[in-house]
Amino acid sequence: MKLIDGKEISSIIKKEIAAEVAELIDAGKPAPHFAVILVGDDGASQTYVNSKEKSGKEVGFTTSVYRFPASITEKEVLETIKFINEDDEINGLLVQLPLPEHISEEKVIHAIDPSKDVDGFHPENIGKMVLGEATCIPATPSGIMELFKRADIETQGKNCVIIGRSHIVGSPMSILMSRDSNPGNATVTLCHSKTENLKEIAKQADILIVALGRPEFIDASYVKKGACVIDVGVSRVPDSTRKSGYKIVGDVKFDEVSKVADAITPVPGGVGPMTIAALLQNTLRSYKRQEGITQSCK
Ligand code: GUN
């Protein structure tokens, strides 16, 4: 069984980015700069944003985090986005999701300047991704594609089953895996809450990508022997043996599935760090395009 070490692969990517940033700065260019908007006090979102900020600084980026209480109005969030859109010194912007219910995710995402949309969530960028045009790809699917590439996981001609159809992971993942590219060229099935015979379908997968947000839902009975399993889930579950009182688990029962699979990502240390590495790659791409170093976001 091969453990796909996202932590190690992401640290290699971060070193590559840091070296490129150092060169740019030596050449007299400004550091790439991304901004994050965080609304409310959701614990998981705070942890993610802190990691994004820390990793950005580690590679030499400038980072700005706009933290707002959950009581902020939609209008104020939209005004902040406009302000960042118009700031020539900021190359990338992401608004951490989910947002409080009174703020429309759709309006917020539409308000982001597509050329600064390092999450790749703006409809213009989603459209480009579907057409295979150069653009920023949503960070989690992009990080998973990078894992396939760097961990030498063959995807061409394979049966790929994705569980979960979110705009952030499952849906873009299905587009990328069915593309005529390497990695890609897989035969893709996208499963969701209305899928019948989920277990039978999952069991056909050579590559099983699980992003449904239900802790340890997938046990060994869902997995074909020899499959590659990518676990996107991150949940806190109570654990009285730990000082913190909880542990982090994925959507997959790692102990039993790792005995059946040929390759698997751990949680933590699998997909999570790759999402951040992909966000940094997207920011560097946006920066280069804005600085006229490359013509596209690719
Ligand atoms: N919430 C969970 N994942 C993500 C992500 O990739 N980007 C943003 N903006 N919010 C998220």
Q: What are the residue boundaries of the structural domains of the chain, listed by start?
A: 27-113, 139-272
Q: For the residues of the chain, what is the DSSP string, one character each?
A: -EE--HHHHHHHHHHHHHHHHHHHHHTTPPPPEEEEEEES--HHHHHHHHHHHHHHHHTT-EEEEEEE-TT--HHHHHHHHHHHHT-TT--EEEE-SPPPTTS-HHHHHHHS-GGGBTT--SHHHHHHHHHT-S-PPPHHHHHHHHHHHHTT---TT-EEEEE---TTTHHHHHHHHHSSSSS---EEEEE-TT-SSHHHHHTT-SEEEE-S--TT-B-GGGS-TT-EEEE---EEEE-TTSTTSEEEE-SB-HHHHTTT-SEE--SSSSHHHHHHHHHHHHHHHHHHHHTTSSSS--
Note the pLDDT tens digit of each residue in 220-264: 999 999 999 999 999 999 999 999 999 999 999 999 999 999 999
Q: What's the confidence (pLDDT) of residue 298?
A: 46
Note the pLDDT tens digit of each residue in 111-136: 999 999 999 999 999 999 999 999 99
Question: Which protein residue's CA is at the shortest distance from atom 1 of ligand 1?
Answer: 97
Active-site position among 52, 128, 158, 224:
52
CATH architecture of 27-113: 3-Layer(aba) Sandwich (3.40)
- Mean pLDDT on 255-279: 98
Indicate whether this model's pTM tops 0.85.
yes
Catalytic residue at 290?
A: no
Catalytic residue at 281?
A: no
Question: Which protein residue's CA is at the shortest distance from atom 11 of ligand 1?
Answer: 97
Note the pLDDT tens digit of each residue in 46-75: 999 999 999 999 999 999 999 999 999 999
Ligand 1 in contact with 168 (CB < 6 A)?
A: yes
Q: Which amino acid is at 27?
A: A
Catalytic residue at 46?
A: no
CA of 129 to the centre of ligand 1 (A): 17
Ligand 1 in contact with 171 (CB < 6 A)?
A: no
What is the CATH number assigned to the segment(s) 139-272?
3.40.50.720
Q: What's the confidence (pLDDT) of residue 294?
A: 79
Q: Is residue 295 pLDDT above 80, yes or no?
A: no
Q: Is residue 109 pLDDT above 60, yes or no?
A: yes
Ligand 1 in contact with 97 (CB < 6 A)?
A: yes
**Same fold across 27-113 and 139-272:** yes
Say what percent of the chain tops pLDDT 90: 98
Q: Is residue 84 pLDDT above 60, yes or no?
A: yes
Question: Which protein residue's CA is at the shortest distance from atom 2 of ligand 1?
Answer: 97
Active-site position among 14, 117, 119, 231:
119
Model confidence at 16, pLDDT cuts 50, 70, 90, reads very high
Q: Is residue 39 pLDDT above 60, yes or no?
A: yes
Ligand 1 in contact with 140 (CB < 6 A)?
A: yes
